[in-house]
Amino acid sequence: MSKIGVGIIGTGGIAQGQHMPAYARLSDQVQIVAVADINEESARAAAEKFNVPHVYTDFREMLKRDDIHAVSVATPNFLHKEATIAALEAGKHVLCEKPLARNAQEAREMVQSARRANRILQVALQWRFTGIGQFLHKYIQEEGNLGDIYYARAHALRRRGIPGWGVFIDKEKQGGGPLIDIGVHILDATLWLMGYPKPVSAFGATYAKFGHRPDVVGLMGQWDHTRFTVEDFAVGLIRLENGATVTLESSFCANIGEDEFNTLILGDKGGVFANPIGSPSVRIFTEHNRTLYNVEPANIPNVNSYHAEVEHFIDAIQNNKPSPVPGEHGFYLNAIMDAIYESSETGREVVIDTSL
């Protein structure tokens, strides 16, 4: 294979802002052959911007091309399953935007399809490829510096951050609110740093205290409060198969002092606090010779994580490597979020089915 031919399904902001520039940087290895979007104007604009020769309004027609070996699925969540499975069945490798699907059953079918097709299914959870993520994974998982990890606390909280565009407030199309949109990022990062033990159950609650109101300021654009059908705050307690637990909080809107995106991970040898939107970005807590230490690494590299996730995707295709972010992990995340949503409705802890 000389160059890997890539197709783009969905040409909105995430495609033009992140996926396509990342592929364009790899022009010695990759060619973007075609784009597909039901909005022909958007598709043609993306094609012109990145010098892409072929434009489609039906992604299934695009997938018939033999010169396309891989695709990015950059559509709204409700279209992930259909586009991903169609691409896998056409023999293409897939990089699918997060979350993998609207719910666990859709994600399960996508993973099963990837296994049948023997193709890579990578979930676009780019935090893993940040300098912070790479440093901490080595420090925790490869070097074992935290010892036995038994608890983590993950926050993805916005003070006033309900998106004023797209379908982020539409449960039918999105699958949920902040839990499934931004909570998925910090939950994946946390579980990845913990070694990704399988979830076994979850208890949680969701609230909609702001989204239906016309009197709340929108710092990410003013949304249509009459169409708001998702939660604006979610909290969950997740039990893992190794006995560890994770608490998760996620909000589009909450009366807090500032936005938060961080995780605290505790082990019997040490703890870490990762805070990529604040300073210091990493703090390490440990004890040596009966003396307590707070350590702040000074030279963590700054990495464009969107570019890095595409580079890892292409490398996995070229060198027959496993998926850098396996579809199975995306499925676990969807299963956890399903359980939190169900628990919020029933008031009970929900057992999580991770069978594939």
pLDDT of 278: 86
Can you give the CATH number for the domain in which 284 is found? Answer: 3.30.360.10
pLDDT at residue 299 tops 90: yes
Mean pLDDT in residue range 228-240: 98
pLDDT level of residue 322 (50, 70, 90 thresholds): very high
pLDDT at residue 203 tops 90: yes
| Residue 202 shares a structural domain with residue 295 | yes
| Residue 113 shares a structural domain with residue 138 | no
| Residue 95 shares a structural domain with residue 190 | no
Q: Are strands 70-73 and 4-9 parallel, antiparallel or unpaired?
A: parallel
Tally of domains in the chain: 2
| Residue 73 shares a structural domain with residue 193 | no
Single residue among 88, 103, 127 that ends a domain in this structure: 127
pLDDT of 2: 83
Q: What is the mean pLDDT of the chain?
A: 97
Single residue among 64, 94, 127 that ends a domain in this structure: 127
Single residue among 127, 145, 179 that ends a domain in this structure: 127
| Residue 91 shares a structural domain with residue 138 | no
Mean pLDDT in residue range 242-259: 98
Beta strand spans in the chain (E)? 4-9, 30-36, 54-56, 70-73, 93-97, 121-124, 149-157, 199-207, 233-240, 245-251, 260-267, 270-274, 282-288, 291-295, 350-351
| Residue 103 shares a structural domain with residue 179 | no
pLDDT at residue 19 tops 70: yes
pLDDT of 95: 99
pTM: 0.97
356 within some domain: no
| Residue 65 shares a structural domain with residue 193 | no
Tell which residue, 331, 70, 131, 337, has the closest CA to residue 230: 337
320 within some domain: no
pLDDT at residue 1 tops 70: no
pLDDT digits (tens, 9 = 90+) for 87-112: 999 999 999 999 999 999 999 999 99
Mean pLDDT in residue range 315-335: 98
pLDDT level of residue 268 (50, 70, 90 thresholds): very high
pLDDT digits (tens, 9 = 90+) for 61-94: 999 999 999 999 999 999 999 999 999 999 999 9
Bridge partners of 285? Answer: 271, 294
pLDDT of 86: 98
- Segment holding 185, helix H or strand E: helix 184-193
pLDDT at residue 197 tops 60: yes
- Determine the structural domain holding residue 67 and report its residue range: 4-127
| Residue 251 shares a structural domain with residue 346 | yes
